[in-house]
Structure 1
Amino acid sequence: MMRDINIFKLILFIVTALVFSFIIILALNMQGVVVSVTSIFIIAIGSILLASVMYFINFLIDRKFLKKINDTIDRISKGSLTAETIDIEGAAAISIKKSLDNFINFLGETLKKIEFSVLDINGNANTLAMFSENISQRIEEERDNIAKITESMSELSSIADSIKEYASAAKELSKVNREKIIQSTESIKNLIQSMNEISTASTAINEVANFIADVADETNLLALNASIEASRAGAEGAGFSIVASEIRNLAENSSSAIKKITDTVERLIKSVTKGVNFSNEAQTALNDIIEGIKDTASKIEEIDSKITTQTDVTKSIHDEIEDVNTLVIQNSELLIEMLGSIQNLSQQSDILKQIAAQFEKEQSEDISSHIYGVNDPSKSDAPKEELSSPDLSNITDITLK
């Protein structure tokens, strides 16, 4: 593109020179001066040579001027606002100088805004870092609390499982005891029935004994009468008297034995009666125990049901606490990553702040003086030392990150 412009400028210079030569020849003819062909050729060749020399001089000036402008812009793009001085000549150069002044002023204002933004970013980053550290500490405390709660819930779940096992064992034991008590009740019923039968038999024996006692009394009475009759008979009734005496003794012994039997039977009846009463009381107590066992079994079943529900709820809470703990760990990791990002942002902000400060330092040394040499022409040929700064591509990479 630049080459085409230079060729166009060369052609324009030559055409201008030829037109200027034609005007000179025409003016001479109008004044009556005869111009030969050789003179016309010499004038044309001279005009072309003059146009070529003028173009070459203009090309060198433009090239030198544009090279300095290009070097200046390149150094500005690399972060340095120092450059060789450029003499200002011509309307185009003045226009370029004005455009560069506007660009540098705009760049300075932009750098000030960047510096203020960097300060705000640093302040916000520090605040976010402080908040993140506080939140991280609180999350660590919450993690400790959740760990303690989880441990307590595990112990509670273990205790609930143990209680459930004990309740199941108590329920089973209550069932076994209930069956044994029912069996004991049946045995007591059978015992009462046997005692009642013994009492009935004892009553029958007592009746028989009373009957035998009555017979013995009558026999004793008859023996007494026989003895009396034998004594009346004298010697002839002596044998009969002896028999009557023996019968009387036998009747008395029978009466004595019957009396002992009767006494024994009466004591047996009393004992059986007491046993029956005690058995009835025991049966009543066993019935009460059975009712108590039924009530206890019902309550044990209710406790077992509630413990089962509590165990399920405890396990559910434990699972939810585990989920919360997992979320807390994830949030803690995210906060750590965010804190690292904030620190990275703070470092990048410091880099941008240094870059902006460097640009401002360069601008404060009167940029126009360094670029165009307006204030101190003596320094126009001495290029200043270029400050070290990162390339704008690096700045762009940091900003994008």
Structure 2
Amino acid sequence: MIFRRPTPDLETRAALANYRFSPDAILLMKEGAFVECNAAAEQVYGVSRAELIGQNPAVFSAETQADGRPSMEHVGERVQEALAEGFARFEWFNVRGGERVRMIVTLIPLPQEGADALLVQCQDFSETGRMIDAVAHGLARLEEGDLTARLDTAFSPEFEPLRISYNSAAEKIMQSVMSVTEVADALQSGCRDIREASDDLSSRTERQAASLEESAAAMQQVTQTVRASADTASQTEKLVKEANDNANKSTKTVDDATQAMANIERASREIGEIISVIDGIAFQTNLLALNAGVEAARAGEAGRGFAVVASEVRALAQRSADAAKDVKARIEASVQQVDRGVALVSETGEAFKCIVGQTNELSALIAEISEATRQQAVTLGEINLAVGDMDGITQQNAAMVEETTAAVRNLAQEADHLIQSVETFRTSRRTNVPTVQGGHELRVVGGRR
């Protein structure tokens, strides 16, 4: 036997215990064939000991190995590797019960048993392999973005925590991605709303800026007009003041003319009285001349010369009386004209007084208008400055709105990119959760390795 030693030391006892009680197949191979095996080999290979002894390992192997090459080629290579390196450990595929079974094979040279003697230890790796395949397939599904894949079939007890941890991690990843998806959707919707609001605000700000610019130009024109009106009002105030001064002077002149007309009227009346006296004297002279003519007629021839004189005196008195009457009539007509002129001058004086009063009121009103216009010009100047500041601020706001709109658009694009990135993952909200099962998927049957 391969484990028979003269002295049963610890090494021999340990090797013997491993040979007898190990769940792994332990075989001795010489000259390319099995010559000895333990009891576990029958279970691992799925055949009896008699069927194992004398057979080449290739008899129980799959037709090809993982690399696709024939198993017979690998047998010779692995034997030479173990003999050259002192051991060889590799993955191997056998056929058991018509199924392809994964093994972990270790070859150890035993020179004491022969030059080409090898200790063959085969570990049944089918269950562990299926577990590894399941995990690998699940990870591949995760790599492809399928976050719904779960390991629903229980693993062997020693690997069950791995399955639970995998499912928990996949669930947390899916929940995180779903949360990111919700946030991305909300961000995309918010960005869309903000972008629409920014576009609307930008449009309204542009219109407001244009309106303010037009208002500023209009305010400048109004300010210039009001300043011109203020200047005109000042000039008008000066002209009205001059007119008022002239009206005051005219009033004084009218008063002087009225006084002069009154003096003329008084003088005319005095002349009329003098003419009346002269007319009375002429009347008395005429009477005297008439009496003298009567007396001269009585005197006869002696009084003829005196009668001629009396007649001439009478004629002269008559002409004086006629002239006095004519002068009196003319003076009376002059007095009437003077009276009319005095009345007209008085009316003119009153009119000038009214004009002066109205001119004073007009001057006061124009002064108030001029002061109000000056104040309006100052106020409009301040408003014009304020409108200019508002126009500048609006222009700055428009620029800031443009920048904000551009930033929101960039953020919206980033949100779209985030949505596209998240959409590469499949979650329970987008598809039904599949259960991956099968020998090469995620089904693992509990049992030994």
TM tier, smaller: 0.5 to 0.7
Query: Are 2:359 and 1:293 equivalent residues in the alignment?
Result: yes
- Structure 2, gaps ≥5 residues long: 1-9, 12-85, 91-135, 146-158, 444-449
Q: Take 1:143 and 1:337, find their aligned partners in 2: how far apart are those partners?
A: 16
Aligned ranges 1:125-274 → 2 under 5 Å: 125-274=191-340
**8 A Cα contact 1:223 1:244, kept in partner:** yes
2:387 corresponds in structure 1 to 321
Give, in angstroms, the shift of residue 129 of structure 1. Answer: 0.5
1:277 corresponds in structure 2 to 343
Q: Take 2:256 and 2:188, find their aligned partners in 1: how far apart are those partners?
A: 99
Give, in angstroms, the shift of residue 337 of structure 1. Answer: 0.9
Give, in angstroms, the shift of residue 233 of structure 1. Answer: 2.1
Q: Take 2:203 and 2:408, find their aligned partners in 1: how far apart are those partners?
A: 17
**8 A Cα contact 1:209 1:262, kept in partner:** yes
Give, in angstroms, the shift of residue 374 of structure 1. Answer: 7.6
2:373 corresponds in structure 1 to 307
Give, in angstroms, the shift of residue 231 of structure 1. Answer: 1.9
**8 A Cα contact 1:167 1:300, kept in partner:** yes
Query: Are 2:402 and 1:336 equivalent residues in the alignment?
Result: yes
Give a deviation string over 1:48-78, Cα, whole Å, max 9, x none: xxxxx89xx9xxxxxxxxxxxxxx9xxx9xx
Q: Which moved more, 1:134-143 or 1:151-160?
A: 151-160
Query: Are 2:184 and 1:118 equivalent residues in the alignment?
Result: yes
**8 A Cα contact 1:199 1:272, kept in partner:** yes
**8 A Cα contact 1:111 1:360, kept in partner:** no
Give, in angstroms, the shift of residue 246 of structure 1. Answer: 1.1
1:349 corresponds in structure 2 to 415
Give, in angstroms, the shift of residue 125 of structure 1. Answer: 0.8
Q: In structure 1, give the amino acid aligned to 2:328.
A: T
Structure showing greater Rg: 2
* Bigger proportion of residues as strand: 2
Give, in angstroms, the shift of residue 130 of structure 1. Answer: 0.9
Give a deviation string over 1:212-264, Cα, whole Å, max 9, x none: 22222222222222222222222222222212211111111111111111111
Give, in angstroms, the shift of residue 295 of structure 1. Answer: 1.4
State the aligned residue count: 306
Q: Which moved more, 1:222-231 or 1:186-195?
A: 222-231
Q: In structure 2, give the amino acid aligned to 1:210.
A: S
Give, in angstroms, the shift of residue 126 of structure 1. Answer: 0.9
Give, in angstroms, the shift of residue 342 of structure 1. Answer: 1.3
- Structure 1, gaps ≥5 residues long: 1-22, 25-52, 58-71, 82-92, 377-401
Give a deviation string over 1:15-42, Cα, whole Å, max 9, x none: xxxxxxxx99xxxxxxxxxxxxxxxxxx
Q: Take 1:375 and 1:256, find their aligned partners in 2: how far apart are those partners?
A: 164
Answer 1 or 2: higher relative contact order, Cα 8 Å, separation at least 6.
Answer: 1
Q: What TM-score, normalized to structure 1? A: 0.62
**8 A Cα contact 1:125 1:345, kept in partner:** yes
Using the aligned pairs only, state the percent identity: 24
Give, in angstroms, the shift of residue 97 of structure 1. Answer: 11
Give, in angstroms, the shift of residue 133 of structure 1. Answer: 1.2
Q: In structure 1, give the amino acid aligned to 2:294.
A: I
Give, in angstroms, the shift of residue 341 of structure 1. Answer: 0.9
Q: Take 1:347 and 1:198, find their aligned partners in 2: how far apart are those partners?
A: 108
Give, in angstroms, the shift of residue 340 of structure 1. Answer: 0.9
Give, in angstroms, the shift of residue 98 of structure 1. Answer: 9.4
1:64 corresponds in structure 2 to none
Aligned ranges 1:40-119 → 2 under 5 Å: 107=173, 109-119=175-185
Q: Which moved more, 1:170-179 or 1:105-114?
A: 105-114
What SS class does the counterpart of residue 358 from structure 2 fall into?
helix
Q: Take 2:415 and 2:290, find their aligned partners in 1: how far apart are those partners?
A: 149
Q: Take 1:161 and 1:190, find their aligned partners in 2: how far apart are those partners?
A: 43
* Bigger proportion of residues as helix: 1
Q: Take 1:278 and 1:356, find their aligned partners in 2: how far apart are those partners?
A: 108
1:67 corresponds in structure 2 to none
Give, in angstroms, the shift of residue 194 of structure 1. Answer: 1.3
